[in-house]
Amino acid sequence: MSNYDKLTAHYQTINHFNHAQSMLGWDAAANMPAGGNEARSQAMAELSVHVHRLSTQQQLGEWFDKAQQELLNGEQQSSLREMKRQWQQATIVPEDLVQAQSIAGSKCEHAWRSQRPANDWKGFEKNWKEVVKLSREEANIRSEALDLTPYDAMLDKYEPGTTSASLNTLFSDVKSWLPELIEKALDKQKTQSIIKPSGIYSTASQKALGLETMKLLKFDFDHGRLDQSVHPFCGGVPSDVRITTRYDEKDFVQALMGIVHETGHARYEQGLPKAFAGLPVGEARSMGVHESQSLFFEMQVGRSKPFISHLSKLSADAFNAHQDPVFAEENLYKIYTQVEKGFIRVDADELTYPAHVIIRYEIERDLINGVIEHSDVPALWDEKMKASLGLTTEGNYQNGCMQDIHWTDGAFGYFPSYTLGAMYAAQYKATMQQTVDIDGAIKSGDLSPIFNWLSDNIWSQASLHNTDDLIKRATGETLNAAHFKKHLETRYL
């Protein structure tokens, strides 16, 4: 058995444990009763320690050295590179820290579920202080090993190759034109009248509508399902993808577009190459590329006029409300492209969303780099919200710095992925429309030409290339934010 083969067998084993971990996590969010949390946290911590041990075994270093001398084809070389990257990521962090983080993160996140609605910053802060402390420890260890700043070392987990220097430049550019674009769009929409949803939209009808929409987006129900949770997410594994949404019976709008978004994540997972299943090279390239799929589905497809036309018919059917003007095409389009300055990132419209991301990026960057302390976050949040969206969150923690799940378990470095994803998505569309009649495909109800392009250029490529190369191969250039700006101007002005 070659050393390369030994490594692939070993990483397949690790993947089986990650599969179990992923399903336990999905179940904790979608099904588990509150009383199960403590035992579940312990079980998941035990599993993460086991995976960490498997990922850091002594002989791996020797296998990597020897495998590099073996005759490998291009795809095997990419596979070796990605296994080695995961090995290096794992060996950097000591086992006791991995376990401590898993326990602190589970504890903080579970308590956050009730602390957030209670606006209990003091209670949250007690748990979060430990999460921040451990995340900083991790960041400093990674920083030393990778010769990066502490925050860049965390960023590297989600966006390999991206640095805060490049993000500072990118986001400074966005900050230079976004506020004016928001004001212009608000001004343009000032006179439009929108009929808002009123009445009761049962969870059962909303779920049925979601499932019909997923069918239109060609979700594979033999390899996935839809459930309900506090925070919408896409979990599971490529052969069994679990997506969730949350329903509000007074408003079907958010849950429906949330399902379109999560279906984008799910189709990427379902479209990853079977030949590399269970190996690092067969995984999604980065979180930004993952978000580019959900945001392509939600923003480029989901909020387009021809797709809204389908949603208009499907929702009127689901709620048996064919005469209700809420579901008229034009009205739904206005609802889904309405610009509004608000507190909540997950409810934000496409235009104000980047402002929410940039606030979080600037705070977590400075928090991990030790420029600010965890206790400074509420005041900084308020200050930045005032500056970018003219809103104050003073004393309003649940709609301010306590609103997201990410920081509760130490996922620092993730937020930039959302805006990178939106930018990549706009760039794909600009390229795709040179060879695909996008609106025509959506109108026809057969979106295959769109999905075929994504499959050929993104899904099937998994992690065979680094992010810049992947984007360049797909679109002819590396990330260019001009496409994103143009997309926003076209839709909103």
Q: What is the DSSP string of 458-470?
A: TGGGTTSS-HHHH
Instruction: Considering only CA atoms, give the Rg of the chain.
Output: 22
Q: What is the mean pLDDT of residues 453-482?
A: 97
Look up tokens 């983080």; give the residue: 101
Question: What's the pLDDT score for residue 95?
Answer: 85
Residues 6+ positions from 121 with CB-CB distance below 8 Å: 378, 397, 402
Determine what percent of the chain is predicted with pLDDT higher than 90: 97
Asked if the model's pLDDT at residue 371 lies above 90, the reply is yes
Q: What is the mean pLDDT of residues 205-232?
A: 96
With b meaning 16 or more CB within 10 Å and e meaning fewer, what string describes 39-57? ebbeebbebbeebbebbbe
Q: What is the mean pLDDT of residues 78-86?
A: 97
Asked if the model's pLDDT at residue 214 lies above 90, the reply is yes
The pLDDT confidence band at residue 334, using thresholds 50, 70 and 90, is very high
Q: What is the mean pLDDT of residues 352-367?
A: 98
Name the DSSP letter for residue 243.
E
Look up tokens 């059917």; give the residue: 317
Helix (H/G/I), strand (E/B), else coil: 235: strand
C-beta separation of 116 from 124 below 8 A: yes
Q: What is the mean pLDDT of residues 289-309?
A: 98
Helix (H/G/I), strand (E/B), else coil: 251: strand
Look up tokens 């995340």; give the residue: 135
- The H or E element containing residue 309 is helix 305-318
Question: What's the pLDDT score for residue 230?
Answer: 84
C-beta separation of 366 from 372 below 8 A: yes
Q: At what angle do helices 164-189 and 353-368 cross, to 10 degrees?
A: 150
* pLDDT per position as a tens digit, 25-67: 999 999 999 999 999 999 999 999 899 999 999 999 999 999 9
Supply the residues annotated as catalytic: 262
List strands edge to edge, sheet with 234-237. Answer: 224-228, 240-245, 234-237
Question: What's the pLDDT score for residue 231?
Answer: 81
Asked if the model's pLDDT at residue 287 lies above 90, the reply is yes
C-beta separation of 393 from 401 below 8 A: yes
Whole-angstrom distance, CA of residue 424 vs CA of residue 9: 34
Look up tokens 């969303």; give the residue: 353
The pLDDT confidence band at residue 347, using thresholds 50, 70 and 90, is confident
Asked if the model's pLDDT at residue 366 lies above 90, the reply is yes
Look up tokens 């609605």; give the residue: 117
Helix (H/G/I), strand (E/B), else coil: 165: helix
pTM of the model: 0.94
> Residue 96: which of 146, 147, 53, 43 has the closest Cα?
53
The pLDDT confidence band at residue 127, using thresholds 50, 70 and 90, is very high
Determine what percent of the chain is predicted with pLDDT higher than 70: 100
Whole-angstrom distance, CA of residue 472 vs CA of residue 478: 5
Q: What is the mean pLDDT of residues 352-371?
A: 98
C-beta separation of 397 from 378 below 8 A: yes
Q: What is the mean pLDDT of residues 331-351?
A: 96
Q: What is the mean pLDDT of residues 150-164?
A: 96
C-beta separation of 241 from 270 below 8 A: yes
Asked if the model's pLDDT at residue 346 lies above 90, the reply is no
Tell me how far CA of residue 336 lies from CA of 55, 157, 208, 341, 393, in angstroms.
44, 33, 20, 14, 25
* pLDDT per position as a tens digit, 237-278: 999 999 999 999 999 999 999 999 999 999 999 999 999 999
As a whole number, the mean pLDDT across the chain is 97
Helix (H/G/I), strand (E/B), else coil: 430: helix
Whole-angstrom distance, CA of residue 378 vs CA of residue 384: 10
Whole-angstrom distance, CA of residue 155 vs CA of residue 152: 5
